[in-house]
Amino acid sequence: MGIELSAESAQVMVAFALYLVGVAALGVFAHRYMTRGSFVKEYFLGNRGLGPWVLALTVAATAISGGSFMGFPSFVYSKGWVMALWICSYMVVPLTGMVWLGKRINQVARISGSVTVPDVFRDRFQSPALGILASVLILIFLCFNLVVQFKAGGVVMQEAIRLPPADAIYRGAEVDPEHILVLAFETPEGKTLKPQKTPLPTRKAEFLPERTKVDGTNREVRVSFRHDGKITEKKVRFPPQRVAIPWLDEGPEKGYLIGLLIFALTVVAYTTYGGFWAVTWTDVLEGLVMLVGVVVMAILALRAVEPITSGGKELTGLAAATERLRQQDPQLVYGPGPEGVSPPIGHGYLPLGMAFSFFLMWSFGGAGQPSGMVRLMSFKDTPSFRRALVLIGVYYFLAYVSLLIIFICARAIFPTEYLREIGSEGNPDSIMPAMARHLAHPLVAGLLLAAPYAAIMSTVAAFLLMISSSLVRDLYQRTINPNASPKTLKRVSYLTTALVGVVVMLGAINPPGFLQYVIVFTGSGQTCAFLFPMVCTLYWRRATRQGIWAGMLGGGLTVMLLYVLGWIDTAYQKAGATGPAWLSWFPGWGEKREEAFAPLYAGGCDPLIWGLLASLILTVVVSLRTKPDPESVRKYFP
Amino acid sequence: MADPDAPRRLFRHAKREALVVVIVWALALVWSLGYCYLRGYRPADDPGNDLTLILGFPDWIFYGIMLPWVACSLFTIWFGLYGMSDDDLGAEKDEEGHGHGH
């Protein structure tokens, strides 16, 4: 199949390709480097040899995922300054994420020779079953997460490639009852294509069919509306090129599929080939690309905001952006922020309970996710650890403040263009690539686009490695075949990493929407399952195997339950029913939700809060009612 | 030879440092959420004409988020450079016949 590219896209792709070549070179270098010590420990843990810079950048690159670069920007763009409060617990994440567990988990892992997080649980309590439970929970949450991260990777590539729309013939348009203009198209062979939809500029706007112009060379239709006596014109692109897939009714967009393939191939190839060191070295590169990318973008964005006069003073830069936001909608500069899309949901975007939930989400999530814990098991000595802490403190401050500034400016520059409810150029999720293209020369834009791509790539690589380490180390080496030779282990490791990557890619061909919800779901699920059990495992002599079992299972299941109840409730609401009476007493049942994937917010709080509570109470109570094994207490508590 | 008290010392230091972080965490939580809720939350129909800007930030964002963020970052830098102790992490358990301690 032929691929047509515009000159601008070609330049973006060149910059992107240069970046990928750098990544590949690092993968090869890492593979060469991987010669010392035991294969499994080297492949999954880098032989506990991380120095300060590498440790800092790898922790940062793993934590900053597709969510930070795609989801968070779209929220800042559509909700305004209140998002600063939403994200602000990153001010303590370097401390909570590293200091709470860091030294002690490294020490315990050295005493037992643990390589993975399930290893730590299994060895500390002499319980293979506990190790398997931990592995299974990690597998469930990470697989969900990976599909969405792959999707984000594919979307960024799609934006970089920007294929022109399909060759089609325009067959007229009409307004549907929901005030959305539906444009019909068919292929040159006469086959009907999926219609393109665009919301009317306002509810009272009138569509003017006689003024519609079709531009066959640029493959777009220009439609006109009249509202408040004014006539506005809007461009609607022809339907995207699609690829037929036998088992799907409607194939995915060609641009997305190409993007996904490029993404999956690069990530899977280098993760499989280089293991922990490849992931770590590319993390270093990616961590730097991300930081430089957002800081440069923030400076460009501040200069791109047009000055504005307010109260007799001329405002420029951030002040001008904030003033423009205030004029658009005062709620953008105050809490709790604008409501979700219609129908109104009732309490503003970030009521106090949710602000509290998100403060805990990021600050505890940094400590509670196994992908972060495993990084803490790998540092070399405490001076490296302390210096890494300093670097991460500076890193998060620069990265998140820059992101906030960029997308506050984005809202001032594009007041409505990327808002879903008014709809035109695109939806809020593409604000990041759009800003990159708006602010810089295509070559620089390519490098800026590499920042979110890097973020997604490093998270995916780390998770991919977590999953295959769970399968190889926790299930294969320690349960199925304890006497496997190093050569067999090597083969099984490569094979599993590659296989998991391919399976996830197939899942991402037709992925779910709701990027941010899935990321929050898997993050909070893991935090609830692992944070308190791990804290007790490391610091509490009285912790018992049964207590950890109960806390892990209870925390994880509470989060899952609240999400599942949310989906059930939303499904009932869609069908216009209230659901069974025995469920309606549940706090949060029957409330309106913005998306179908949203959970039940019992008591106005995120499921995270309830999961953490359940996990803490169960771990402590069950531990106190059972007896610890004196042998392991002596071994791990000197 | 390794110091036999080293593991115990690390455990004590790790506990103390974790406690310090809990205190910083709680202070940050109260400051940010408290200040922003009291000074930055307005009813939906408020016109917001009295917005004051500091360095381009709305004042409640500046005092409620940027200031504590800078304070936390400075504390993190201090804590990493001077506040935390150095400890011996112990030797690696030999697993597959190629041990290598640190």
Q: Taking CB atoms and an 8 Å limit, are B21 and A95 in contact across chains?
A: yes
To probe the interface with B, which of A101, A313, A334 has the most B CB atoms within 10 Å? A334
The C-alpha atoms of residue A326 and residue A330 are separated, in whole angstroms, by 4
Count helices and strands (H / E) in chain B: 3, 2
pLDDT confidence band for A66 (50 / 70 / 90): low
Is residue A308 within 8 angstroms of chain B, CB to CB? no
With beta carbons under 8 A apart, name residues in chain A contacting B77. Answer: 390, 393-394
Phi, psi of A75 (to 5 degrees): -70, -45
Chain B residues 57-86 within an 8 A CB cutoff of chain A: 57-58, 60-61, 64-66, 68-70, 72-73, 75-77, 79-81, 84-86
B9 shares contact with chain A (CB less than 8 Å): no
Chain B residue closest in CA terms to A356: B33
Q: Percent of chain A scored above 70 by pLDDT?
A: 89
Give the containing element (helix H, strand E) for A394.
Answer: helix A382-413
Write out pLDDT tens, residues B11-48.
999 999 999 999 999 999 999 999 999 999 988 778 77
Cα(A349)–Cα(A590) distance, integer angstroms: 18
B11: its two tokens: 């455990």
pLDDT tens, residue by residue, A344-375? 356 678 888 889 999 999 999 888 888 889 88
Predicted TM-score of the model (pTM)? 0.84
Interface test with B, best of A41, A87, A95 (most B CBs within 10 A): A95
Domain A7-163+257-636 annotated CATH 1.20.1730.10: yes
Residue B74, min C-alpha distance to chain A (Å): 8
Touching check for B56 and chain A: CB below 8 Å? yes
* pLDDT at residue A45, rounded to an integer: 63
What ranges do the domains of chain A cover? Answer: 7-163+257-636, 169-239
Distance CA A17, CA A12 (A): 9
CA of B27 vs chain A CAs: smallest distance (Å): 10
Q: Residue A250 has what pLDDT?
A: 72
Write the ipTM: 0.91
pLDDT in tens, A218-269: 888 888 888 777 787 777 778 888 887 777 767 788 888 888 898 888 888 7
A448 to chain B, closest Cα gap in Å: 25
Q: What is the pLDDT of residues A156-194, one digit of tens each?
A: 788 777 788 888 888 888 888 777 788 888 888 888 888
Beta carbons within 8 Å of A373's beta carbon, 6+ residues apart: A101, A105, A117, A120, A367, A530, A534
pLDDT the model gives residue A201:
66
From the list A596, A604, A597, the residue with the least C-alpha distance to A575 is A596
